Amino acid sequence: MIFLYILGIVLAILIILVLVAPKHYDVQRSVYIDRPVAEVYNYLKSVKNQDHWSPWKKKDPGMHQEFVGTDGTVGFVSKWDSDHKQVGAGQQEITALAENERVDTHITFLKPFKSESDGYLLTKPEGQGTKVTWGFTGTHTVPMNVMMLFFNMDKAVGKDFEEGLADLKQLLEQNP
C-alpha cells in the first residue's frame, strides 16, 4: 500500500511538472553593424556565408555539409553532420525572405536529439548601419519541456548567438 502512495505522489509531481514546464521558447540576440542594411541583408540571406561566422562551424570546421538548391532563395537547404556533441546533425531550409528585413528558416535537428525550430535573421536600419537580430523559436514537447526546467536554453544558445554575431560584425565591418 505504501508503494501505491509513493507511486501516486511521483505521478502527481510528474503531471505538475509537465503542466508548469515551459512549452515555447524564443532565444535571440542583437548586434549593431556599421554597414548599410542592403549590404548586410544580402550577405545574411546566403546560408553558405554562415560558415564564416557560425560558432558551430568553428567548433567543427570539418563537419560534413551538403547543399540543395540555390543559396539565398526560398527552398535552399543546408545539411550538416558532425560527431561534435554541440554541433550534431540536421538541416536548415530557407522558408521566407523579406528584402532588407528578414530571413526565415526551418531548422531540423537530428542529433544529439531530434527537434525542430524556426530560425530568423532580422535586419533593421539604425543610424548609418544595421541592427541584426539572430534568433530561433519553437515548442518543447513532453518530456523535453520538463527537462527545460533544469536547462537554461536562453543562456546556453544565447552565448553562441552572441559569439556568432560578434564574428559577423567583425567580418562585415573589416571587409567593406
The answer, yes or no, to whether residue 136 has pLDDT greater than 80, is yes
Amino acid identity of residue 115, one-letter, is: S
Amino acid identity of residue 47, one-letter, is: V
Q: What is the pLDDT of residues 66-81, one digit of tens each?
A: 999 999 999 999 999 9
- Phi and psi at residue 100, to the nearest 5°: 60, 15
> Which CATH number is 23-174 given?
3.30.530.20
- How much of the chain is helix, strand and coil, in % rounded to 5? 35, 35, 30
Query: Domain locations in the chain?
Result: 23-174
The answer, yes or no, to whether residue 105 has pLDDT greater than 60, is yes
**How far is 126 from 123, CA to CA, in rounded Å?**
9
Task: Say whether the peptide bond before residue 55 is cis (omega within 30 degrees of 0).
Answer: no
**How far is 105 from 77, CA to CA, in rounded Å?**
9
Q: What is the pLDDT of residues 1-45, one digit of tens each?
A: 788 888 788 887 777 766 666 677 788 999 999 999 999 999 999
Q: What is the pLDDT of residues 109-133, one digit of tens each?
A: 888 878 889 999 999 999 999 999 9
